[in-house]
Amino acid sequence: MATLPIKNKIRELRFFAEEMTQQELAELVGVTRQTIMAIEKCKYSPTLEVAFKIAEVFGQSIDEVFQYQSV
Amino acid sequence: MATLPIKNKIRELRFFAEEMTQQELAELVGVTRQTIMAIEKCKYSPTLEVAFKIAEVFGQSIDEVFQYQSV
DNA sequence: ACCTGGTGTACAAAATTATTAACATTGAGT
DNA sequence: ACTCAATGTTAATAATTTTGTACACCAGGT
- Taking the CA of residue B64 and the C1' sugar atom of nucleotide C17, their distance in angstroms comes to 24
The CATH number of A4-64, from 2.160.10.10, 1.25.10.10, 3.30.230.10, 1.10.260.40, is: 1.10.260.40
Q: Is the CB of residue A41 less than 8 Å from the CB of residue B43?
A: no
What does pTM read for this prediction? 0.92
Q: Which of residues 22-61 of B touch strand D (CB under 7 A)?
A: 30-32, 34-35, 38-39, 44-47, 49-50
pLDDT tens digits for chain A (71 residues)? 557 789 999 999 999 999 999 999 999 999 999 999 999 999 999 999 999 999 999 999 999 999 998 76
| Best CA proximity match to A10, nearest among A44, A47, A36 | A36
Q: How far apart are CA A48 and CA A46, in angstroms?
A: 6
Q: Which of A45, A56, A70 sits opposite B48 (nearest CB)?
A: A45
Q: How confident is the model at residue B3 (pLDDT cuts 50, 70, 90)?
A: low
Q: In chain A, what is the straight-line distance between the N-terminal and C-terminal CA atoms, in Å? A: 17
- For the segment B28-56, what is each residue's pLDDT rounded down to a tens digit? 999 999 999 999 999 999 999 999 999 99
A8 touches strand D (CB under 7 A): no
DSSP, collapsed to helix, strand or coil, labels residue A68 as strand
- Across the interface, whether the CB atoms of B66 and A52 are under 8 A apart is answered yes
CA distance B12 to chain A (A): 20
